[in-house]
Structure 1
Amino acid sequence: MVHFVGAGCGAPDLITLRGRRLLEEADVIVYAGSLVNPALLGFAKKDCRIYNSAQMTLEEVIAVMEEAESRQQMTVRLHTGDPSLYGAIREQIDRLKEQKIAYDVTPGVSSFCGAAAALDAEYTLPGITQSVIITRMAGRTPVPEAESIASLAAHGCAMVIFLSAGMLEGLQRELLKGAYTEQTPAAIVYKASWPEERTLRCPLGNLARCGKEAGISKTALVMVGNFLGDVYDRSCLYDPAFTTEYRQGTDAGGADVCCGGAV
């Protein structure tokens, strides 16, 4: 069987319990190169065969899986973060289906979660935004025209941009075509949860300069939106006046009144 496993965002202890167990039991591990913390490979048993997929094509990865199956061995395909985000797992799954090879997927902690933790940030702040856009800048690999950075930036909600740290000048320019301004808070998080993690905060108008001065051009997330600011509304759920299924509010008549006071 083949197990697709999310390695988490970097720190070895952020892999799931299931993910670690599968690594410990695997006969073959195919891992996503430098994007996966090599410390995770320390969970493998001594006779496990380990392959770095950064040096392989899809066909070569599938061939390794097929060989393991012919030997009745178990394979772990170790992806960075969560396999469902920029993991290219669909094309692998379809090949396995064609070969009638059993598989499953173990989710992981995505780097967009690790980056928020590094910044003490909450993406969905009351009164600010209740939506998160996860996307990437078009580069050598295109994105659908309707999903251009400028189009998505028109929403003005929390945005997390993957795979774009090497194109900060263009990214900044496209973001400013939307609802954001040069003063909109932005951040760059390099290798969230790794020992070498770095966080940089700046106004969006200084994003490219900030990244250049820090020497960051890869393995980093860009975050933009007013969720990184200091103003937001108090949560209705925990307001004393708000009535829920489990608690009677203190407002007159117990009406579902939500607070709107800024913090």
Structure 2
Amino acid sequence: VDVKQGKLQTDADIEKITAVLLKSRTGEFDLESILFLKFRSHGIHDLGCIGECINLERLDLSGNKITNLAPLASLRLLGVLNLSANRISNLEPLSSCDSLQSLNVAGNLISSIENLHCLQSLRKLENIRLKDNTYNYSNPVCRNSSYRTVLLEMFPNIKVLDGERVVGRGSDLYQLCKDIDDTIKAGSYKNGQVPDHADCKPWVEDSYWEIKRSNSAIIDEAYKQFNDVLHECRLLNNRATHMISQTERSLSLKKQPKQYAV
């Protein structure tokens, strides 16, 4: 009966994660055998016994009502964690998740940079998301104008911040776009007026694109030399054809059987 109830729970809101729910959801008999879990938008507010899934590697708990992350402290093999769109303000329990590489906490209640200090011990952490413009998720800390700069200083190993690659292949493009945006914002308007720009000037002179005619004498000489070379090629071709025909004729004579007089 409990198992049936657990299966019914998966189709509705789940207030608390239980062992029965985990087993029925994954089909695993032992919680330690569970490697991947996805409980997206189930109304969860209590993580229950999820900490017993000690071999868990990927976990998606986005879109719930979670406030307390304490049960996650035992998940030392957890590599990817999605906690977006919850009610989290304290990330301290994640400091013991040594294998964590990717963390998404966009759309929560993280209010200051100090709330992120606990993550500095996670040496493998390469991807942090506190803001997601696609879904309009953010955190109060993101309102800080120096938030991005401070975060990159705090986490020197970070490769991706808020979905933008900051190190490695592709980072130059993101930086270029950011510089362009900053330049536009800084220089587009001064005192509420659009600045006057000087008339555009062509990059090259008007005569640059005109086809320059060559000396006709040079063209005639080149044409004559080309015809001479072409004539020599024809002569060589005729000689080669003649020699090939002679060779074929002599070979055919050699192949004919010899006749002896009786």
TM-score (norm 1): 0.25
Structure of higher CA gyration radius:
2
Using CA pairs below 8 Å that are at least 6 residues apart, which structure has the higher relative contact order?
1
Structure number having the greater helix percentage: 2
Structure number having the greater strand percentage: 1
